[in-house]
Every structure is written in structure tokens, then in C-alpha cells.
Amino acid sequence: MKPARFRYRRAHSIAEALEWLADDDARETKVLAGGQSLVPLLNMRLARPAALVDITRIRELRTITPDDRGGLLLGASVRHSELIASPLVAERAPLLAEAARHIGHRAIRNMGTLGGSLAHADPAAELSAAIVALGAEIVIAGWGVASRSIPAEALFVGPFLTSLQSADLLCEVRVPDQRGWAWGFAEVARRPGDFAIAGVAAAVRQHGGVCAAARLVAFGVGDGPVRMIWAERMLIGQPIDADIARRVGEAAAAGLSAPPTDVHASSAYRQHLVAILTEQVLREANGRAAENGFAEHDQ
């Protein structure tokens, strides 16, 4: 099929994109970032916007830069393949690079963007879970108002729904300093490149041989990325050994609220996967902490 008719505008600056979003009826306008989700919806006429604002040529949205506090600033139009290839991402947010490696196939990773994935808010999206596990912030711009930042968790409000207003533009992801944090990431899909049936991203910080802080995020099992705070609490003050990893995995799965059942997996199977994957990522994180000396020293 072919898409329904729409107006097309290519923006060359954030201000230009915001002006067009404000000029048009923003509720009938879509932002084109990578297009890997939007274009198929257009072709199947499941989306019928009156206008598209293309932000792919805005240079300031294509940057990966360090901040002066040890963190990372990522433009919304950074492509998945750029996250994977960037030495800065490998150094300062390797969890993000690992999550990006699991997205689709090479052609999709070469075109899809960080901001496009986050704004699409697919409950099975790897990058959404990763930025929540990293404790990142989202920078949002609007026409005629100061830009604002929100915690990554506040962006996702339901399946394919975000807290972005109709004329908002997601501009940047701010990843805080990850020194002293170890990470793990795992998912299960029917085939490489398929959407995840279930997955878990983890970030943990240890001091004196025990867990001092943790962020555990499941995806593919709810309305969006699920921060498993009840499981995180079990880790605090505990050495992350095989026994605690297993028990936290079981608790993580038990605390989930009815994962969906569909043609790919039952709710019970998704819960089972979360238990196994949580144990796996905690073991991975503990191994990385030991390798880097994080387990013994407060960074």
C-alpha cells in the first residue's frame, strides 16, 4: 500500500522544527526521525498524519558529546549504529551500546534513531529499558518556552504513549556519570532481530563487597519499561552472589503485574524469562564489577 497524502517539511534547526510543529495542527503532525517504525505505519495507513516534520538533517541532534561531570549527552537523532560504534558510548555508557546491538537488523540500526525509538515507546524496546536503567534524563523543547528535562521513567506512560505534548520535540538524552556502576543486559527473542519476548537491563553499584544501589528494568512484559523496585530493594546491603541473584530473579518475576499473553508467549512464560534473565544480568554485572574493582571501592 501507499501512504495517504501528507505535507512534508524538512527542518534544518530545532527552532525551525518547533515553529512548524506549532504552525501546523501538531495533533495531526508526526516527527520523522529514523522512520523505521513510522514509515511502515504510513504505508499500511495505520497512521494518517496531515504533515511530517523531518528532523534528520538537524546537525545539533546528531551529536555524542561528554559532559564535564563524567556523563554523556546524546542527540535524539543519533543512530543505533552510531551508539554501537562510538568510543565515548563504549567508555561512558556501554549498557546503551549493548542494548542497541539487539535492535532489529543492520539496515534498521543504520537508520533508526535513539529519539525515534524512545518517542515510539514500544514496550519491547531495548533502548527505553537501557536509559531507565542508566538513570538518564530526557531534554524536551517546545515552541516559545524554555526546554525542560524529565527523568527517563517519566517519559513512558503506556504502550506507544509518552508524556510528550503534541508540539514537543525530544532533543537530547543526558546519561549521568556511570563510574562505579556495573551493568548487565539480556533478552530472549524468537529469532535474532525479532522483538524481544522479554528482556532485562541492570545497573548496580557495589561498595565494601555489597550492593549499594541498583536499577533493574524489564521490557516486553508490561506497558513500557518496568522498573522492578521491589527486586532492587532485596539487593541493597547484600553481596551479589549466585544465591541472591537467583532469589532476586524469582522475586522480580513474582512482582510483575500480569505480563501479556500473545501469539509469541504466554504470561507465565514471560514471568519465567524475567526470573532467568534477572539472575543472568546480575551475574554479569557482578562479574564486571569484580573485573573493574568496583566491588571493593566506592567510586
Question: Which residue, among 182, 177, 181, has the nearest Cα to 72 in the 3D structure?
Answer: 177
Instruction: Say what the pLDDT of residue 24 is.
Output: 63
The answer on pLDDT for 90 being more than 80 is: yes
Instruction: Say what the pLDDT of residue 137 is.
Output: 98
Q: Residue 261: how many CA atoms within 13 Å on its side-chain side?
A: 5
State pLDDT tens for residues 226-250.
999 999 999 999 999 999 999 999 9
For residue 21, give the CATH number of its domain. Answer: 3.30.43.10
Residue 35 sits in the same domain as residue 81: no
| Residue 108 included in any domain | yes
User: Which residue range(s) make up the domain with 255?
Assistant: 183-292
Model confidence at 299, pLDDT cuts 50, 70, 90, reads very low
Task: Answer with the one of 144, 175, 206 that is the final residue of a domain.
Answer: 175
For residue 188, give the CATH number of its domain. Answer: 3.30.390.50
| Residue 59 included in any domain | no
Residue 262 sits in the same domain as residue 167: no
| Residue 1 included in any domain | no
The total of structural domains in the chain comes to 3
Residue 152 sits in the same domain as residue 68: yes
In order of 75, 76, 255, 290, 296, the CA distances from 135 in angstroms are 17, 17, 21, 22, 23
Question: Which residue, among 143, 135, 178, 137, has the nearest Cα to 20 in the 3D structure?
Answer: 143
Residue 168 sits in the same domain as residue 262: no
Q: Are 180 and 97 in contact (CB under 8 A)?
A: no
Instruction: Say what the pLDDT of residue 206 is.
Output: 94
CA–CA distance, 292 with 290 (Å, rounded to integer): 5
Mean pLDDT of the chain: 93
Pairing of strands 161-162, 169-175: unpaired
The answer on pLDDT for 297 being more than 90 is: no
Residue 109 sits in the same domain as residue 14: no
| Residue 195 included in any domain | yes
State pLDDT tens for residues 173-230.
999 999 999 999 999 999 988 999 999 999 999 998 899 999 999 999 999 999 999 9
Min mean pLDDT across 61-65, 139-143, 295-299 is at: 295-299
State pLDDT tens for residues 16-69.
999 988 876 656 888 989 888 888 888 888 888 888 999 999 999 999 999 999
| Residue 298 included in any domain | no
**Number of Cβ atoms within 10 Å of the Cβ of 111:** 18
Q: Tell me what percent of the residues of the chain surpass a pLDDT of 70.
A: 96
Q: Tell me what percent of the residues of the chain surpass a pLDDT of 90.
A: 79
| Residue 258 included in any domain | yes
The answer on pLDDT for 171 being more than 60 is: yes
Residue 96 sits in the same domain as residue 138: yes
For residue 96, give the CATH number of its domain. Answer: 3.30.465.10
The answer on pLDDT for 298 being more than 50 is: no
CA–CA distance, 109 with 113 (Å, rounded to integer): 8
| Residue 299 included in any domain | no
Residue 90 sits in the same domain as residue 154: yes
Overall average pLDDT of the 100-125 stretch: 95
Residue 33 sits in the same domain as residue 118: no
